[in-house]
Amino acid sequence: MGKASIWFGDFPLERARDRGKGTLLEHLGIELLETGDDYLKARMPVDARTRQPAGVLHGGASVVLAETLASWAATFCVDPAKSHCVGLEINANHLRPVADGFVYGTARPLHLGRKTQLWDVRIATEDGKLVCVSRVTMAVLDSPSGYLQR
């Protein structure tokens, strides 16, 4: 028997991609790629937009990718008529420099509670070498009627 999905309904990947247009996500080239029953995956280029002056991926860009993944994932784990999610805390351990290509982030929940969610985000190179490990805590707040339009 397969794993039950964590998503509240279907994850609207195309809708989330559209909502990223004209935002920091588009500026940094972050692309949402796929979802599974318990994960969300995206990629980000390592180029002039995301490198630090030393010529490697900026740690802040990795944090943006991690928070993007956790925020979208958290948003689609709750009933939008009742709740919405906001970032509460993020930490990141940067493990390896990357000078070019793409990095791929995958977010998976460690805890999906009534008031908080905890997400593990792993960022790796195209060949699977771990670049950054991040943990993102999301607060689950009550939504006024019609608060968040998906």
Best CA proximity match to 38, nearest among 2, 14, 90: 2
On whether the CB atoms of residues 134 and 66 are closer than 8 A, the answer is yes
Residue 148, pLDDT score: 52
Residue 3, pLDDT score: 76
The DSSP element (H or E) to which 75 belongs, if any, is: helix 59-75
Q: Domain extents for the chain?
A: 13-142
CA 110 – CA 81 distance, rounded (Å): 24
Residue 149, pLDDT score: 52
* Residues of the chain under the 70 pLDDT cut: 1-2, 145-150
On whether the CB atoms of residues 62 and 123 are closer than 8 A, the answer is yes
pTM assigned to the model: 0.93
On whether the CB atoms of residues 83 and 143 are closer than 8 A, the answer is yes
Choices 1.10.490.10, 3.10.129.10, 3.50.50.60, 3.50.30.60: CATH for 13-142: 3.10.129.10
Which positions are annotated as active-site residues? 67
